[in-house]
Amino acid sequence: MAEIIKFNNVSFSTKEGKIIQDASVDFEMSKTTAIVGPSGSGKSTVLKLAAGLKIPDSGEVLYKGKNINQMNRADNLEFRRETAFIFQDSALWANQDLFQILELPLKIHFPKMNRIERTERIREMALNVGYSKDLDIRPAMLSMGEQKLIAFARAMLCKPALLFLDEWTESLDEAAADRLIKILKNKQREGATLLIVTHDLRLISDLADFVVMVIDGKVTVTAPKDSIISELLINDFFNIGIAS
């Protein structure tokens, strides 16, 4: 199976120090990889490096063999159309209403789509994720869980082949989380690639094909999910802060 994202000796640091140290890891196409580790270990940074949202100090991150941080405008636009990122804090624009937030990616990536078509897709996707309230309000009027639903809908609108999800079930009740998990399982059946940062052992068990373990900024384990779970007792996940 070919990799879709590849890290070659990637390091990343901030003013506080080195966050990721010399990481080399492949993320396979049409598979789901759970990126796990204790809080503060660097797993969200790995996800953002994979999505091209952070630039490594050294090494390279490749998408289908192309260095993400050296892409020309056309390649970068294609990369952005084919991928979507769901942030832990939802990252909804405070000065836009929900419809405008959802409409923007469609305007960028499908410029020939007319407003009626955009409206139909937006309303359908909002209902799919379980949001049935007004779309002409701003994010501040939503609960944290509702903001997560809108962020999820935004990510799905352009039908991405590669999804980056950072602790995306936080603030969701069980019914809402189950609805979104079903959507992700449909994406898996369609051949999408998912990269998931999570502490939720249920998500790892239900969705992941592979597990990448990040401890103190180092990728310490990359293995099929079943071998990880069979070799580590459930208590081990809790004791080292992987699961909560």
Query: Model pTM?
Result: 0.91
Arithmetic mean of pLDDT, 226-238: 57
Residues 42-74: tens digit of each pLDDT: 999 999 999 999 999 999 999 999 999 999 999
* 7 token code pair: 């890290």
Residue 38 Cα distances to 35, 69, 173, 216, angstroms: 11, 28, 23, 8
Q: What is the pLDDT of residue 202?
A: 84
Q: Label residue 201 exposed, middle or buried (CB < 10 Å: 0-12, 13-18, 19+).
A: middle
Lowest-pLDDT choice from 110-119, 146-155, 209-218:
209-218
For the chain, list the domains and their CATH numbers. 3-91+161-239 (3.40.50.300)
Residues 70-114: tens digit of each pLDDT: 999 999 999 999 999 999 999 999 999 999 999 999 999 999 999
Arithmetic mean of pLDDT, 31-48: 93
Residues 169-221: tens digit of each pLDDT: 988 999 999 999 999 999 999 999 999 999 888 888 899 999 999 998 999 87
